[in-house]
């Protein structure tokens, strides 16, 4: 059913999908739902994987459809108006830099996007000869920019402590709390703190669920749930003292993996808002809805331009999948901010796919001064989190093999001699080198580089005739394009490795409260058993061989998470216990004996009486 579209769009956004239908998993938060587009993701070939994820990303730009359940979307009147109201507040701060601050904050991938945007807009201010006015916070500190540690987002008090630290002495602060699912306690604490200090703070909640779907469970060690905090924010929005910016963008291609659409939508939403604020402050003009639409359209164009390279992206997915299947590695080597995006994508594979730290790793080539709040925290991570050019040359190059995949990420404005020099060093070890290069119309790759790296995805962007801030739109488009491609390559590679069942990452690491709930929900989805029975099975595995006492069952989720975080295959083991009605040791033995996780689960799922119906995956068939 083609929706009624209010605006002309650059891309052919998919018709409203099944997930907008009122009955579809209606109680589930949109961000946690399974996206119908990718329900057969685990059986797709590389080309199909790219198409499916492309269509999921396109849902970000889909307009509200009155005919279906009415979720506000990116282009909805209410969202655009809220953006305009927030811009007014940002302009006030930008005009009065003394003792004011704009803070972007989040846990995990949201914190990484916060970091990326704070770096970008401080660079924009520097180019205008102005002092930095942005800073970022990520749950767990700078080390979590390069190494994912999912547990830190569970502390509301840690969020308050971090916010207090960076805002000391400030008289006016705009705080952007980013939580894609409206669920991170770290952000809930910060928003609540802002609402208790409205003389200094203007809090903005950024996420992609309606407030009615914000997490309602009580937060351990805190007086409110995320839902209660969000409802209080909504109330304060009536008097422009707080704002909720939460368009629906649709479920993730891999259920709950908010690093993908959630991260991209965060970047699109906040870069558009902040860029519009800067554009109008420097021209002392009024921001208009037209200006917002113009910027949003450049991101839609970035989607169209990026996925016009789908065939080459699919070849990269296949190549990276082959490396992982052979227990070899994928190295993402990016220049400047493309290197930051590379590092983030690699780090996110660990919690998302249970990947080893080395499976997909990003490296940053070029100057990284003025980036990190506390770089010492990063470098102090030790060699396993090394991400510099020196680390790549010294500790990776010598051990590169033909099975590894190396992907360079650069723009034609970077030092191409430096790119060529490093490419030559890589070629001495392997011919398996690929590249993604961004150019502006009129820039061409040197023949020598094309000869060195035969498979280059070369994206040419139209010249945007926009004033100073416009140059940043170029940069933001290239970053988003690179993020989309890397997300697709790393996700696709893990699909081909057999880590995904339908579009669920069943073997998730239970390393925070949200992931604990997701684990229980996935068990319910694949067994049809009650939540109580699934939760019991999960706890049996987590505490095995300890017998489950009433006390343990009633313990706080943080205790279960602490016990489960370092365990492997907890959810698949619990799933087998439920499906085969067996004890933990037998389930573990079956997993160990099976050629792959999927084979073990498929066998159990296709046991007599079970079929891959609307909610049951079919046994694995050879991918075409
Ligand atoms: C889609 C699915 O049913 C599902 C996935 N995840 C979940 C959840 C994951 C995390 C939660 S949660 O932490 O309680 C949460 C997270 C966000 C939010 N707004 N509200 C609640 S629910 C649910 Cl309820 C269902 C499936 F199949 F994956 F299990």
Cα 254 to averaged position of ligand 1 atoms, centre (Å): 12
Predicted confidence (pLDDT) at residue 543 exceeds the cutoff of 90: yes
Residue 136 and residue 114 in contact, taking contact as beta carbons nearer than 8 Å: yes
Q: Are 430 and 406 within 8 A, CB to CB?
A: yes
pLDDT digits (tens, 9 = 90+) for 240-263: 999 999 999 999 999 999 999 999
| Residue 62: strand, helix, or coil | coil
Q: Is the peptide bond before 67 cis (omega within 30 degrees of 0)?
A: no
pLDDT of 22 reads 64
Look at the pTM and tell me if it is higher than 0.95.
no
Average of per-residue pLDDT across 42-67: 92
Burial code (b: 16+ CB inside 10 Å, e: under 16) for 270-292 equals bbbbbbbbbbbbeeeeebeeebb
Span 384-412, mean pLDDT? Answer: 93
Residue of 19, 24, 32 to mutate, ligand 1, most atoms within 8 A of C-beta = 32
Q: What is the pLDDT of residue 16?
A: 63
Q: pLDDT band at 462, cuts 50/70/90?
A: confident
Ligand 1 pocket check: which of 24, 183, 521, 526 to mutate, most ligand atoms within 8 Å of Cβ?
A: 521
CA distance 266 to 262: 6
Please state the rounded mean pLDDT for residues 440-466. Answer: 90
Task: Give me the pLDDT at residue 600, please.
Answer: 85
How much distance in Å is there from the Cα of 32 to the middle of ligand 1? 5
ipTM over 0.90: yes
Burial call 541-555: b when 16+ CB within 10 Å, e when fewer: bbbbeeeeeeeeeee
User: What is the rounded average pLDDT of the residues 598-605?
Assistant: 83
CA of 361 to the centre of ligand 1 (A): 28
The answer on pLDDT for 1 being more than 50 is no
Mutate to test the pocket of ligand 1, among 518, 526, 605 (most ligand atoms within 8 A of CB): 518
The more confidently predicted of residues 234 and 8 is 234
Q: Please determine, for residue 623, whether its predicted confidence score (pLDDT) is greater than 70.
A: no
Q: pLDDT tens digit string along 289-305?
A: 999 999 999 999 999 99
262-280 tens-digit pLDDT: 999 999 999 999 999 998 8
Closest by CA position to 296, among listed 84, 492, 535? 84
Query: Which ligand 1 atom is at minimum distance from the Cα of 520?
Result: 29
DSSP one-letter code for 171: S
Question: Ligand 1 centroid vs 48 CA: distance in angstroms?
Answer: 26
Taking residues 36-47, report their average pLDDT: 96
For residue 444, the CA-to-ligand 1 centroid distance in Å is 47
Which segment of 21-30, 175-184, 450-459, 589-598 scores lowest on mean pLDDT?
21-30
> From ligand 1's centre to the CA of 600, what distance in Å?
24
Residue 622 has what pLDDT?
Answer: 39
Return phi, psi of residue 618, to 5°: -80, 160
Average pLDDT over residues 212-235: 97
Residues with CB under 6 A from ligand 1: 28-29, 32-34, 181-183, 209, 213-215, 217, 255-256, 504, 514, 517-518, 521-522, 525
Average pLDDT over residues 491-515: 94
CB hemisphere CA count around 55 (13 angstroms): 15
Q: Of 415, 370, 412, 421, whose CA–CA distance to 393 is shortest?
A: 421
Residue 4 pLDDT more than 70? no
pLDDT for the residue numbered 2: 45
Q: Atom 4 of ligand 1 has which residue's CA nearest to it?
A: 521
**What tens digit of pLDDT does each residue of 151-184 get?**
899 999 999 999 999 999 999 999 999 999 999 9
Cα(595)–Cα(603) distance, integer angstroms: 11
Give the length of the chain.
Answer: 624
Mean predicted lDDT score pLDDT of the chain: 91
**How much is the pLDDT for 372?**
65
Report the separation in Å between the CA atom of 214 and the middle of ligand 1, taken as the mean of its atom positions.
Answer: 11
User: pLDDT at position 9, please?
Assistant: 76
């Amino acid at each position: 059913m083609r929706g009624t579209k209010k605006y002309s769009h650059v891309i052919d956004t998919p018709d409203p999908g099944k997930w907008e239908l009122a009955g579809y998993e209606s109680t589930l938060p949109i961000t946690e739902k399974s996206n119908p587009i990718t329900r057969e993701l685990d059986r797709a070939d590389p080309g199909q994987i790219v198409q499916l994820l492309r269509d999921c990303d396109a849902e970000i730009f889909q307009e509200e459809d009155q005919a279906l359940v009415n979720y506000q979307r990116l282009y909805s009147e209410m969202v655009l108006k809220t953006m305009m109201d927030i811009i007014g507040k940002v302009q006030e701060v930008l005009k009065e830099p003394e003792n004011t601050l704009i803070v972007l904050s989040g846990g995990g991938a949201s914190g990484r996007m916060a970091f990326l945007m704070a770096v970008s807009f401080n660079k924009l201010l520097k180019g205008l000869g102005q002092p930095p006015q942005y800073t970022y916070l990520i749950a767990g500190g700078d080390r979590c920019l390069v190494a994912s540690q999912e547990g830190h987002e569970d502390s509301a008090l840690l969020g308050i402590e971090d916010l207090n630290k960076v805002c000391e002495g400030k008289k006016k602060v705009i705080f952007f709390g980013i939580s894609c699912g409206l669920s991170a306690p770290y952000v809930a604490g910060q928003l609540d703190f802002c609402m208790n200090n409205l003389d200094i703070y203007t809090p903005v909640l950024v996420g992609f669920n309606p407030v009615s779907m914000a997490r309602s469970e009580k937060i351990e060690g805190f007086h409110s749930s995320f839902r209660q905090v969000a409802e209080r924010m909504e109330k304060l929005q009536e008097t422009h003292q707080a704002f909720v910016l939460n368009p629906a963008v649709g479920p993730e291609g891999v259920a709950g993996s908010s690093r993908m659409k959630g991260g991209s939508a965060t970047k699109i939403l906040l870069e558009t808002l902040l860029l519009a604020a800067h554009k109008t402050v420097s021209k002392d003009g009024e921001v208009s809805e037209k200006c917002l639409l113009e910027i949003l359209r450049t991101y839609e164009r970035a989607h169209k331009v990026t996925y016009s390279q789908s065939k080459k992206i699919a070849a990269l997915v296949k190549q990276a999948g082959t490396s992982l299947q052979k227990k070899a590695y994928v190295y993402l080597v990016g220049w400047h901010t493309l290197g930051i995006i590379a590092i983030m994508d690699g780090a996110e594979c660990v919690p998302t796919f249970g990947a080893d730290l080395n499976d997909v790793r990003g490296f940053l080539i070029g100057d990284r001064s003025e980036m990190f709040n506390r770089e010492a925290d990063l470098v102090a991570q030790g060699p396993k989190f090394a991400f510099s050019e020196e680390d790549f040359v010294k500790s990776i190059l010598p051990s590169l093999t033909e099975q590894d995949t190396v992907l360079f990420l650069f723009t034609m404005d970077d030092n191409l001699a430096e790119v060529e020099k490093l490419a030559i060093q890589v070629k001495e070890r392997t011919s398996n080198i690929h590249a993604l290069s961004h150019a502006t119309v009129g820039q061409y790759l040197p023949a020598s580089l094309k000869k060195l790296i035969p498979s280059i995805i070369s994206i040419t962007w139209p010249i945007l005739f926009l004033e100073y801030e416009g140059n940043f739109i170029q940069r933001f488009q290239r970053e988003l394009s690179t993020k989309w491609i890397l997300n697709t390559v790393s996700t696709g590679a893990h699909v081909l490795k057999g880590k995904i069942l339908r579009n669920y990452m069943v073997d998730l690491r239970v390393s925070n409260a949200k992931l604990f709930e997701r684990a229980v929900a996935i068990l319910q989805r694949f067994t049809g058993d009650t939540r109580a029975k699934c939760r019991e099975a999960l706890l049996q595995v987590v505490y095995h061989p300890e017998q489950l006492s009433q006390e343990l069952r009633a313990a706080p989720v943080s205790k279960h998470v602490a016990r489960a975080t370092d365990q492997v295959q907890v959810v698949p083991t619990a799933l087998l216990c439920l499906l085969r009605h067996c004890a933990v040791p037998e389930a573990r033995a079956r997993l160990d004996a099976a050629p792959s996780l999927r084979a073990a689960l498929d066998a159990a799922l296709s046991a007599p009486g079970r079929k891959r119906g609307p909610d049951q995956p079919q046994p694995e068939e050879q991918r075409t």
